[in-house]
Chain A
Amino acid sequence: MDWGWVSDHLDLVGHYTGRNAYLGLIAVAFGFLVSLPLGLLCARYRWLYAPISALATALYAIPSLAFFVVLLDFTGLQDRTIIIPLTLYTLSVLVPAVVDGLTNVPEHVRQAATAMGFGPLRRLLQVELPLSIPVLIAGLRVATVSSISLVSVGSLLGDSFGGLGYFFTRGYQIDYPTEIWTGVIAVVVLALAADLVLVAVGRLLTPWVRRSPRTVIRRRTARAQARAA
């Protein structure tokens, strides 16, 4: 590992990190936009859930490289050739997340909302979706990490389509491990950073979730000790 090379090429690492983040995250964003209505339909009409989740799984089973290559004929060598497959891959995680989130809303809460005079749309927006946030965030975390790491395969199509994958393909071609490691570490760091952001957003959006009892006990013990001292 040649750290000198890394510090000389920070701008390059920054550029590809940005590309990787953009391609991975935009796919998750589109995936979420598609999954939301699909998940709502599946939660409403349960018979739709089995075929839709089977389709999402089938799409996920298509090897990414094959998917890119097939799409090339239709979309040409552009960002969307990468973004479309990555978007479709997220469905296998995000559709179930939407369905689980909605079905996890306690029945008595749903009933209370209806009985208080919430119409179906208002109930969805003000009660059911907010209560689904913890499950949605869990789904988004898995989808985001996998999407960020999958972007790198795109580098087989061209230098600017694989994000940080650029470094592995090039490192391999010129037999220079430093570039391979730089790419791998940067992907992992990027994925972890995105994951942490999602965890933080989730916490901010759900102050009403009971946090693990252990933290409460720890805090109480700390407070008790502080008082004793």
Chain B
Amino acid sequence: MITFEKVSKRYPDGTVAVDELDLHCETGKVTVLVGTSGSGKTTTMRMINRMVDPTAGRILLDGEDIARRDPVRLRRGMGYVIQQAGLFPHRTVVDNIATVLVLLGARRRAARLQALELMDRVGLDRSMAKRYPYQLSGGQQQRVGVARALASDPPVLLMDEPFSAVDPVVRADLQNELLRLQADLAKTIVFVTHDIDEAIRVGDRVAVFRTGGQLVQVDTPDRLLAAPADDFVAGFLGADRGIRRLAFATTAGLALRTPTVAVLGASAADVLAAAAQAEDRWVLVVDADRRPQGWLQADRLASETQVEKDLVQPLGHVFTPGSDSLRTALDASALSPDGRAAAVDGEGRLLGVASGSDIATAIAADLRQLERGESARHRPGR
């Protein structure tokens, strides 16, 4: 646990970088510091490893005031990842990763062996071990940066805009990779970014900073999206926050209905009759294993003898109740020609369908649950 107690950083010229900050960064969780430039988020992070010392207040690491710790030793116990990776250009990939191990007194051979294992862990091919940083892509360099920070297995990881210099596709990969690693390692991560979407994606808790070094709100991503503390936070979150929040809402309680189903190759007349009886204008076409194939307009069957694949309109996509979010379900509904989203089990077999209004009901129920402060929320779709 990292605790900021009334921490301020005031420069001699009067600039206030951080203003009376109180903040807890929970052990084993990702705390994201997000804000506009000049909001003091990077300064806040750098105070944790004493790259910057506060002018007032104190910072506790597991209850101990870090001002009493030797900065160099303190830093060796904290992983650090920086924008552009900050790799040493003159050292090979494996030696970059082994850096902190060697600083901590490991023999070079042992450190290199451990570095190779870390390369596996962050998804880097061992054949790159002897390369120099300039021979790697931006995304690969960033992976080396993460491996280097993890090398000595420090309990705390500080990440300063680690993924902002790579393109969006690579960034999404790196974010997923980080979440996958974090699921295994449960480090106490402090992550600085100016990208609110990134904050919401990787953070267990998100701290929003305003220019002048003021902390405006700290909350879980879904509560932040549902209930921003003020206009500044709402503006920072941007458009569509209602829909983006649904990524954190579960489909577990979503009521499913049974649609009229047509198996490929079935008699058109039978399906038409069933659709007429159920008053369904669209029928859901499935294969022999009940895997949804697409939607079919019932009227079109009048001139057909059999349900053929080429009559079917594509589904867009399906969702799996429980593991997918309401956002995925809503998206499936929005892409469906008849407005109903198809739900499937883990093997892709049809469970039922949910209409747009069924999903809206589930959204409202989820919001009520959030307002009651029920904390047993998981993060579907991560």
Contacts and interface: CB of A to CB of B under 8 A. Distances in A.
Interface in B42-98: 49, 51, 72-76, 78, 80, 82-92
Given A117-B75, A127-B88, A112 B100 contact: no
A208 B134 contact: yes
A112 B84 CA distance: 10
B158 A115 contact: yes
B103 interface: yes
B99 interface: yes
A131 B86 CA distance: 13
B89 A109 contact: yes
Given A116-B100, A117-B76, A207-B132, 17 more contacts: A106-B86, A109-B86, A111-B86, A112-B85, A112-B86, A116-B75, A117-B72, A117-B75, A117-B100, A118-B72, A127-B88, A130-B90, A131-B89, A133-B90, A206-B90, A208-B90, A208-B134
Interface in A140-161: none
Interface size grouping (class) on chain B: 20 to 34
Question: Is chain B's interface secondary structure helix, strand, loop, or mixed overall?
Answer: mixed
B310 to A, nearest CB: 45
A101 to B, nearest CB: 13
A204 B148 CA distance: 26
A117 B103 contact: yes
Contacts of A117: 72-76, 100, 103
Nearest to A119: B72
Nearest to A126: B88
A124 interface: no
A108 B89 CA distance: 11
Contacts of B51: 111, 114-115
Interface string A192-224: 000000000000001111100000000000000
A108 B91 contact: no
Those 7 A-B pairs whose CB atoms lie nearest each other, nearest first: A112-B86, A117-B76, A115-B80, A117-B75, A208-B132, A108-B86, A210-B134
A207 B132 CA distance: 8
Interface of A: 106, 108-109, 111-119, 122, 127, 130-131, 133, 206-210
Contacts of A210: 134
Interface in B260-299: none
A207 B74 CA distance: 33
Contacts of A122: 103
A29 B89 CA distance: 27
B95 to A, nearest CB: 10
A208 B89 contact: yes
A130 B91 CA distance: 10
Contacts of B148: 116
Contacts of A112: 80, 82, 85-88, 145
Given A108-B83, A207-B132, A208-B134, A115 B75 contact: yes
28 contacts: A106-B89, A108-B82, A108-B83, A108-B84, A108-B85, A109-B89, A111-B86, A112-B85, A112-B145, A113-B86, A114-B75, A115-B49, A115-B75, A115-B158, A116-B76, A116-B80, A116-B103, A117-B72, A117-B73, A117-B75, A119-B72, A122-B103, A127-B88, A131-B88, A207-B132, A208-B92, A208-B134, A209-B89
Query: Among the interface residues B83, B100, B103, B158, which one has the most CB atoms of the partner chain A within 10 A?
Result: B103
Interface string B125-148: 000000011100000000001001
